[in-house]
Structure 1
Amino acid sequence: MLERIWISAGEASGDLHGGLLVEALRAAQPGIVCQGMGGAAMRAAGLEALFRTESLSVMGFTEVLGHLPRIFCMLREMERTLARLRPQAVVVIDAPSFHFPLIKAARKLGIPVYYYISPKVWASRQNRAQFIKENVRRVISILPFEVPFYQKFGMEVDYVGNPLVDVVDEAALARITPQPGLIGLLPGSRKKEVSALLPEFGGAARILLQRLPHLRFAITRAPGLSEEFIRSFWPADVPMTLQEPDNRWAFMRQCQMLIVASGTVTLESALAGTPTLVTYKLSSFSYHVLKQFVRVPYISLPNLILNRQVFPEMLQAACNAGPLAEAALRWLAPADGSNPLEDIRQTLATLRPMLGEKGAPKRAANLILGDFAE
């Protein structure tokens, strides 16, 4: 029987999924000890967080380089902690660059490793699939198109459906009517993301107000980011309200459209049924390096799942105030009298059935616990 498990999430989206997994593990087996690295969601679910996900909040190649001493120090301390505690299993959630060394350490100690929220090796650096095949006991996937990818490498993957389906209250969201003129902004959970994206969001908002003075802008504050920090990157002459992260599903549904940082939030906004501009901006060098490895036509999950560009992807030069405002205006004030926002909402309604039934965290927990059943 599995009595002690190590669970590690390297970023905010992984912490959300990790929290649901911890809840499912503790519900299925009361008394199980869950330790490791997590954020607010995992701690609230009952994880004994010996390390905090908030300590690992970087983005991009050059940005990571500046934090390498701290990251290596954290990894060494984790390895020592694993050797001392000797958990029966290790679960890592996404974040492959950080977790691959941890996987190696666990394997040297003879501890089986489970990869929950399998890393996006299908997008870039596909050679990493071989490492996963050799070092991970089971890969647990939440995206339907990952199964045939891993099968190409001779791997069996457990597809459990998407945990976000459990989070979304479809009936409650269906009762919410989008508010005309309300534009939601989600600039990310990392300080580097916010500092890169939010000034451009603010510049776009200024341009939009010149054309459509009735617009209102609201920013969802990610956990760990203060109001003072967020407002320091927003133009003082543009009105803006700040939303707490607790009820962001309802907030996303209320918005006529969203502008967000690329990541799990794009799938959240799609499930909320809200048209979204997807943005991202890295240093020039980081972006150049990334382009050499990317092997997929889109970066946002809704586009990949639907296999078409439903959400415009505004990257690098396109992720500036002018292009963002132009893209938003094509939705908010179409010259041909069409209703592109409603067309997108209808397309998004086809996405939900593609993500499986509710109960993904429970199915993932049962797969892990099943390996240790007496």
Structure 2
Amino acid sequence: MHYSNPDGPIWIGAGEASGDMYGALLARELRNLNPGLKIMGMGGPAMEAQSVDVRHSMKLISLVGGTEILAGLPRIIRLLGEIKRSLMQERPRAIILLDCPDFHFRVVKIARKLGIPVYYYISPQLWAWRSGRARFLRDNVRKLICILPFEKAFYRKYDMDVEYAGHPLMDQIPLDELDTISREADRIAILPGSRNREVSSLLPEFAATARNLLRNNPNLRFSLVRAPGMEPERLAEFWPDDIPVDLVEPDDRYHAIRQARFVLAASGTVSLECALIGTPAIIAYQLSKLSVFIGRMIINVPFISLPNLIMNREIFPENIQEDARAENLTRLAESWLDDTEYSRVRSELAALRKEVGEPGAVARAAEIIFNDIPRA
């Protein structure tokens, strides 16, 4: 059974805000190679802004942790059925999947049965946990395109067809422009994440941290950055009315990060965004107790944030679970306001930017995929 059509559209699948952003960049570069190319799939507002026909909203799988996924399982099963019907009807020439392995591995199985070639861009972080799943990619994915410098060697150990294109953030972030922006010594940016679970668990702790800091530093100002797809009303639920804050829209987040002295942030892509922009960040993360218990048994990397993983040392302090509380975050933030360790962290970020590589990563990834798609 072969539903792949060499003249059909390209299907891009993204399941979270960062994937939506990278999917939009990839769609733009694919159309630079073929201006008439039809692109459809699953994603969010960034992909829609690039005229991608988003058939399925990424909000349907915006979940965190193993235990949270169980609660949404019926919805996910229905969504997989809808995607299969879409693929059978539209007969894409290729499918490009971005991260989200727990969901997208199931899409890979569907595509394999339908005879549609699959490319995995923004390779899943299997080097962090459940490394054996790399064999599944080797057996079912035509080509893997990785974005972190150490990933190619990891996947090559599994005899995969893998290429390193560089990190797409180097194309997304206007670094030359941002480098000219002066910092505000009394401003702290807050980025509580793009998922409901992240916001509900971390934003109250960030707000309490802000309240604590204001006691000794009444001139501080705070910028609360809204992630794409996160409603302002949701953020307002967890931010007290008596603490002044500037709400920053998603399109202005890079300027807000650059203007800040430092950032309080949920672990995720934003940690690397902060590092490349040159703004130190205090990283926090919380999961359900069961998710943490399972994770501590199977995760095999020393850090959770990308800057620390890339440099193989702690640049940004990581605060997980009970450490991600206002008391601990306040202590770290006050030390940075007093310049303890803050200058050292800033000095490390220039080296990290060089390590990530040159711009043009998304164009390289698009060319790798486009030139590899079977033509008949």
Contact 1:173–1:250 (CA<8 Å) still a contact in 2? yes
Q: Deviations over 1:290-334 (max 9, x none)?
A: 111111000000000011100000110000110110111111125
Match of 1:363 in 2: 364
Q: 1:198·1:233 contact (CA, 8 Å) conserved in 2?
A: yes
Note if contact 2:146-2:166 (Cα within 8 Å) is conserved in structure 1: yes
Q: Given the alignment of the two structures, is residue 89 of structure 1 paired with residue 94 of structure 2, yes or no?
A: yes
Residues 255-270 of structure 1 aligned to structure 2 (within 5 Å): 255-270=260-275
Distance 1:2 1:342 in 2: 55
- Tell me the secondary structure at the aligned position of residue 351 of structure 1: helix
Question: 1:228 Cα deviation (Å)?
Answer: 2.1
Q: Tell whether the 8 Å contact from 1:277 to 1:312 is kept in structure 2 after alignment.
A: yes
Query: What is residue 166 of structure 2 aligned with on the other side?
Result: 161
**Cα pair 1:204 1:322 within 8 Å, conserved:** yes
SS of residue in 1 equivalent to 2:351 = coil
Mapped to 2, the partners of 1:65 and 1:305 lie a distance apart of: 32
SS in 2 for 1:260: strand
**Cα distance in 2 between the residues matched to 1:373 and 1:284:** 46
Matches of 1:257 and 1:115, distance apart in 2: 34
In the other structure, the counterpart of 1:20 is 25
Aligned residue in 1 for 2:259: 254
Other-structure match for 2:226: 221
Matches within 5 A, 1:1-374: 3-334=8-339, 338=340, 340-372=341-373
| Alpha carbons 1:6, 1:35 under 8 Å: kept | yes
Query: 2-side partners of 1:205 and 1:2: how far apart?
Result: 55
Cα deviations by residue, 1:22-78 (Å, 9 ceiling, x for unpaired): 000011101111111011111111211111112221111221111111011101111
8 Å CA contact 1:6, 1:36 repeated in 2 = yes
Counterpart contact for 2:263–2:279, Cα < 8 Å: yes
**Deviation above 3 Å: which 4+ runs of structure 1?**
none
Q: CA deviation at 1:3?
A: 4.2
Q: Per-residue deviation at 1:237?
A: 2.4
CA distance in 2: counterparts of 1:11 and 1:277, whole angstroms: 22
Q: Is the 8 A contact 1:221 1:227 kept in 2?
A: yes
Q: Deviations over 1:134-159 (max 9, x none)?
A: 00000000101001111111223110
Matches of 1:324 and 1:50, distance apart in 2: 41
Give secondary structure in 2 for the equivalent of 1:92.
Answer: strand
1:355 partner amino acid: V
Task: Find the aligned partners of 1:173 and 1:222 in 2 and give their Cα distance.
Answer: 19
- What's the RMSD between the two structures over aligned residues? 1.3
Corresponding residue SS for 2:167: coil
- Tell me the TM-score normalized by structure 1: 0.96
Structure 2 CA distance for partners of 1:2 and 1:161, relative to 1, 3 Å: farther
SS in 1 for 2:116: coil
In 1, distance between residues paired with 2:259 and 2:214?
Answer: 19
SS at match of 2:131: coil
Do 1:2 and 1:369's aligned partners in 2 also have CA atoms closer than 8 Å? no
Structure 1: 5+ residue stretches without partners? none
Rounded to whole Å, the distance in 1 between the matches of 2:7 and 2:272 is 32
Partner deviation per Cα, 1:122-142 (whole Å, 9 max, x = no partner): 000001100000000000001
**Cα distance between partner residues in 2 of 1:349 and 1:199:** 32
CA drift of 1:167 comes to: 1.6
Kept in 2: contact 1:2–1:32 (CA 8 A): no
Does the CA contact (< 8 Å) of 2:8 and 2:91 recur in 1? Answer: no
The superposition leaves residues 257-301 of structure 1 with CA deviations (integer Å, 9 ceiling, x where unpaired) of 001111111100001100101111011111111111111000000
2:94–2:117 CA contact under 8 A, matched in 1: yes
Could you tell me how far apart the structure 2 residues matched to 1:277 and 1:62 are?
26
Indicate if the aligned counterparts of 2:12 and 2:95 stay in contact, CA closer than 8 A: yes
CA distance in 2, matches of 1:342, 1:173: 19
Mapped to 2, the partners of 1:325 and 1:2 lie a distance apart of 57
CA–CA separation in structure 2 for the residues paired with 1:110 and 1:64: 28
Percent pairwise identity: 48
- How many residue pairs match? The answer is 370
